[in-house]
Structure 1
Amino acid sequence: MPPRKQANTDPLVTHVGIYARVSTEEQAEQGYSIEAQLETLRSQCKMEQKVVFREYVDAGISGKTIEKRPALRELLRDIEEGKIQEVLVWKLDRISRKTSDLLFIMDQLNRYNVKFRSHSEKNFETDTAAGKMTFQMFGVIAEFQRNTIVENVKMGMKQRARNGKWNGGQVLGYDVVEIPVAKGKDSVLHVNAIEAELVRKIFSMYASGRGLKSIANELNHDGFKTKPNKPFSHVSIKTIINNPLYIGKIRYNVRENWSEKRRKGINPEPIIADGEHEPIITQYLWDAVQKLYSKKAVTAPRVFNGTYLLTGMMRCPDCGATLVAHRTKDTLKNGTKIVRRYYVCSNFRAKGSRVCTSNTVKADFAEQYVTERIAEVVQKPKVLEDIVARINKNRVKNVVPLQKEVEAIGKELKTLDSQKQKYFKLYESDVVDNNFLIERLNELKQKHDALYLRKTEAENQLNDSISEPVPLQQVRQILSKFQEMLETAPIETQKNLLQTIVKQIHVKKGQKFEGIELEFDDKVTACFLGLAPSTQAVAGAFAFSKQKFPLQYTLVI
């Protein structure tokens, strides 16, 4: 990511943020291309003698929401930081096709005194009542047009599915091939002979009694990959054996409104129709697999209610994936049944030993290590004292190099300011033209922004090193209170307490630990040193007081 530019403090220059967007379906339309929009808006800025601060481009992205448009979010952040005075777009619907988002954007513009202009819809100002009404009317029209397009597209795709046609996407066993038709091109499924054999193997393995993870593990060991060229998991195997595509059916609209409802938007009556493509497996094999899957899907009632206190706090020493909860049931020689708890690599659990090893850690052992290590640090003052002293020593050691760097950057920034003033004097004397001035100002601005960003980072590091040493007494008080609460809290509260203060537990192979990384900030400090918290309720463990606390810091114990 390029360095973030700083606020414009020069009243002689109007910095303009150009925003351009094109969705996938608009890529081929005349006048909608990104380059066409940018070229038009650049020319307008030059004609008006304004400086293009930055071009914000969302290519191939729908105007439905703000959340999935990184360039627009960056534009809004720069508006908040006062870096631009004007936003220019080729057409209003480029900024958004959703009325609520348009109103939010307009509110942000007015709040920070930023002017909005559209090259196509001219002569309206968002800081007047009439301008706001015009802005909103255009927004309503744009949203109506988008919704109409979406409805027409959905209707067309549903009809294609009813006719047995493929609506796109990659699927193991088939290749998507484009063929010429009367009105252009169409996509059809052709059997991929090699992948089809793999699909038949998966169905046969499941029909023979193999489990989802067992199948995934064997396929990964044999070097097979999914269609996107990734290792198999139990989820990908389940998706394959439940897809009627392989018996020649087209299934469509299984989930509705995915962007809003995600997996909860299940359609009870999806479209299932005879497809135009060739089936890969027989109806007999399909029926056998579905019957077996239905039986296995009926799970036994859960008899184990144990809690895993360290969920999400440990990572696999080999692949870096999170260690997740795992348990086994054993029967002793005397007939007693016991449950053993473990943490295992999530990649191993989902995809098998081809992807990673289990790197099993006994849950009781890990949880005992964490609680005993914290207790040791609390009960042996010298241990904690040495840890904090070492951290503070390293912080102070970095002060001199940072001070020299900040001083050097400051001198360079003054040089850039002098150069900018020289270019303005040349412009006022008609020695250089406007285009030359803009080019040189942009070059200086880029250098200035990069230097200023590094200067800010160095100053923050410097302030952290010299003004806020890790407070030994405060750390000791927090950990003492933490240990006291941990010993008396119910099991669920223990888990929340650990998640509050433990950032990560560093695990090595062979069930060994390198240390526990603890994170301290104002929330943690208030939790344990603020109003007297109760360990009987999770909410009570997060009481805040009005006391001010130091900045965030971490310790590895």
Structure 2
Amino acid sequence: MMTLDFKGDPVAINVAIYARVSTEEQAEQGYSIPAQLEVLRSLCKSERKIVYKEYVDAGISGKSIDKRPALQELLRDVEEGKIQEVLVWKLDRISRKTSDLLYIVEKLNKNNVKFRSYSEKEFDTETAAGKLSIQILGVIAEFQRNTIIENVKMGMKQRARNGKWNGGNVLGYNVVEVPSGKGSESVLLVNPVEAELVRKIFRMYAAGQGLRSIANQLNNEGYRTKLGNSFSTVAVKTILTNPVYIGKIRYNVRENWNEKRRKGINPNPIIADGEHEPIIDMDTWEAVQKLYGKKSKTSPRVFEGTYLLTGLMRCPQCGGTLGAHRVKDKLKDGTVVVRRYYVCNRFRNNGSRVCSSNSVRADLVEDFVMNRIKEVVLQPKILEDIVNKINKDRSKSVLPLQKEIAALDKELKTLESQKQKYFKLYESDAIDNDFLVERLNELKAKFDQFAQRKREAERQLETNTSSPISIKEVREVLTMFHKLLENSPLNTQKTLLQTVIKQVHVKKNGKELEGIELEFDEGIKKCFLTLAPSTDKVEGAFAFRKQKSPSRYTLVI
């Protein structure tokens, strides 16, 4: 159940009441379950809040949260978004242990759930004192969490040094949990079928096949990775360079993952003799590593250049991006010629089992884009026809949108009236809490649907009722854009094209282009018409491209 109010009214929210009493406390009148519930119910009713559910742990100690079924159910409902506020009579009803209280408060904060204690007013996350208390708890929780993380890292590093497995699933082995001391630990056991596939990959590479050739062959023969995906060049490379297959444990290859991701390479990872059985013999391993080292050395570049349209074209077959690709051809006289293409990235990484190359000659498509922009700039009639058609289509849609918005407004007002009617019935005790919750949720589902459609229609109407696109202004923008392109180096040309081109459309036959989709907004227009960036610095134009603008429009030329 989501927030029940339609207009952000803070009273129409779902409240979870939690009550607990231990065996010893049951004799005390002030601590009784009925007494706690009565106080909290009255508070909710006075604030016109909906009691979603009452969670009661009777005769259970507050020392541990694991053995309280009602509290565990409440936390599950919090994670599922059913509750917006948790209310307790007293803080110790939730927990007597600070560590457990920290855990619960952190979980509530993570799910944007308010927490209140009836007796301790300072534990109300909507008050300044409450926010301060929660922040203090958060600092303590972060310190405890970081301490735990450091201890876990130290333990895992020591396990790796001892030859024990810390990782997840790996092709060629099954990860099995075995008893160890007080608990269990993960060990690697050889999977005979997968191990033979690993040996096959090593044999293929040692025989001279490249990464792409191996991935393509494996996919065509029906093989899959450990996770059931198609093989890619990266997957093959990972297998060929993983010392786990010669009985080694490699750990801590990357450091500071949250900030540096794959760039945080550790120059001194842990490599130790593992407890598991190797799959690849040392002779094969060393031969493959030597061969891989030779192929990985950077060879002299036979072509220097920039692919201007990277990321701007989609594969007409699978919808993936077309990426840069070079092919070397040797002519009859022995001359080596490098031809540039844009090809399907999924084909390059996973082979013909996944998609086709759908290659497009880079020089041809880049020339087409540059010449088409020049043609539109130099022949005013072409641009005039394009802009007039867009303005005409926008004008036609205004009246239908206005009618739709008016109809949606009427529906929303009706739903709001029905909501107020149910609140009045609830306050007069004509209906109970469960009936109210059910009806309000039905109304809210409808309200959200209509409100979303109204927002979309209003945005579209705002665009279509704004001033018509100025042919003169578009021509000026394109003229300045064209001048910058002609007088810029390749890397700057690429930035300019990325700024204005939304997509270069490739026909389904993969051999022809349908058109170039240009996208403009106020930022881009201002950049080209007033700021006029220099040919060696267009960061201003590129920054505008990332901003959202209600007056954005597209032209297909």
TM (norm. structure 2) is: 0.78
Partner residue in 1 for 2:460: 461
- Quickly say closer, same or farther: Cα 1:362–1:186, change in 2 above 3 A: same
Partner residue in 1 for 2:524: 524
**Deviation per residue, 1:10-58 (Å, 9 max, x gap):** 47x254688xxxxxxxxxxxxxxxxxxxxx99x9689623546999xxx
Moved more, 479-488 or 192-201: 479-488
Partner residue in 2 for 1:271: 270
Moved more, 253-262 or 45-54: 45-54
Partner residue in 2 for 1:449: 448
Partner residue in 2 for 1:378: 377
Identity %: 63
Q: Which amino acid aligns with 2:217?
A: E
CA distance in 2, matches of 1:474, 1:336: 49
Partner residue in 1 for 2:483: 484
Deviation at 1:298, TM superposition (A): 1.8
CA distance in 2, matches of 1:144, 1:173: 40
- Decide whether the 8 Å contact of 1:378 with 1:479 is kept in 2: yes
**Deviation per residue, 1:179-209 (Å, 9 max, x gap):** 3445343332221111111100111111122
Partner residue in 1 for 2:59: none
- The structure with the larger Rg is 2
CA distance in 1, matches of 2:263, 2:171: 25
- Decide whether the 8 Å contact of 1:8 with 1:15 is kept in 2: no
- Quickly say closer, same or farther: Cα 1:430–1:4, change in 2 above 3 A: closer
Partner residue in 1 for 2:68: none
- Decide whether the 8 Å contact of 1:14 with 1:85 is kept in 2: no
Partner residue in 2 for 1:242: 241
Partner residue in 2 for 1:144: 143
Deviation at 1:146, TM superposition (A): 0.9
- Decide whether the 8 Å contact of 2:302 with 2:338 is kept in 1: no
Partner residue in 1 for 2:397: 398
Q: Which amino acid aligns with 2:555?
A: L
CA distance in 2, matches of 1:518, 1:353: 32
Partner residue in 1 for 2:291: 292
Partner residue in 1 for 2:497: 498
CA RMSD in angstroms comes to: 3.7
CA distance in 2, matches of 1:368, 1:166: 54
SS at match of 2:337: strand
Q: Does 1:553 align with 2:549?
A: no
CA distance in 2, matches of 1:51, 1:440: 15
- Quickly say closer, same or farther: Cα 1:17–1:461, change in 2 above 3 A: farther
Partner residue in 1 for 2:350: 351
- Decide whether the 8 Å contact of 1:468 with 1:551 is kept in 2: no
**Deviation per residue, 1:200-227 (Å, 9 max, x gap):** 0111111122221221121122121111
- Decide whether the 8 Å contact of 1:93 with 1:139 is kept in 2: no
- Decide whether the 8 Å contact of 2:117 with 2:124 is kept in 1: no
Partner residue in 2 for 1:225: 224
SS at match of 2:245: helix
SS at match of 2:230: coil
Partner residue in 1 for 2:44: 48
SS at match of 1:430: coil
SS at match of 1:306: coil
SS at match of 1:179: strand
CA distance in 1, matches of 2:242, 2:413: 66
Q: Which amino acid aligns with 2:409?
A: G
CA distance in 1, matches of 2:360, 2:78: 45
Alignment of 1:165-176 (within 5 A): 165-176=164-175
Moved more, 2-11 or 151-160: 2-11
- Quickly say closer, same or farther: Cα 1:46–1:181, change in 2 above 3 A: farther
The number of equivalent residue pairs is 494
Partner residue in 2 for 1:328: 327
Partner residue in 2 for 1:388: 387
CA distance in 2, matches of 1:129, 1:406: 41
Alignment of 1:86-125 (within 5 A): 91-94=101-104, 96=106, 117=116, 123-125=122-124
Q: Which amino acid aligns with 1:530?
A: T
Partner residue in 1 for 2:73: none
Q: Which amino acid aligns with 1:517?
A: E
CA distance in 2, matches of 1:74, 1:399: 41
Deviation at 1:517, TM superposition (A): 0.7
Unaligned runs of 5+ in 1: 19-39, 56-70, 76-83
- Quickly say closer, same or farther: Cα 1:351–1:14, change in 2 above 3 A: closer
Q: Which amino acid aligns with 1:384?
A: L
TM (norm. structure 1) is: 0.78
**Deviation per residue, 1:126-155 (Å, 9 max, x gap):** 677755553332122111221122122222
Deviation at 1:410, TM superposition (A): 1.8
CA distance in 2, matches of 1:321, 1:376: 29
SS at match of 1:528: helix
Q: Does 1:213 align with 2:212?
A: yes
- Decide whether the 8 Å contact of 2:309 with 2:497 is kept in 1: yes
Q: Which amino acid aligns with 1:354?
A: R
CA distance in 2, matches of 1:352, 1:4: 48
Partner residue in 1 for 2:71: none
- Quickly say closer, same or farther: Cα 1:182–1:73, change in 2 above 3 A: closer
CA distance in 1, matches of 2:381, 2:363: 28
Partner residue in 1 for 2:538: 538
SS at match of 1:48: helix
- Quickly say closer, same or farther: Cα 1:144–1:231, change in 2 above 3 A: same
Partner residue in 2 for 1:163: 162
- Quickly say closer, same or farther: Cα 1:444–1:264, change in 2 above 3 A: same
- Decide whether the 8 Å contact of 1:163 with 1:273 is kept in 2: yes
- Quickly say closer, same or farther: Cα 1:208–1:464, change in 2 above 3 A: same
Partner residue in 1 for 2:414: 415
Q: Which amino acid aligns with 1:535?
A: T
- Quickly say closer, same or farther: Cα 1:527–1:175, change in 2 above 3 A: same
Partner residue in 2 for 1:193: 192
CA distance in 1, matches of 2:78, 2:516: 40
Moved more, 327-336 or 85-94: 85-94
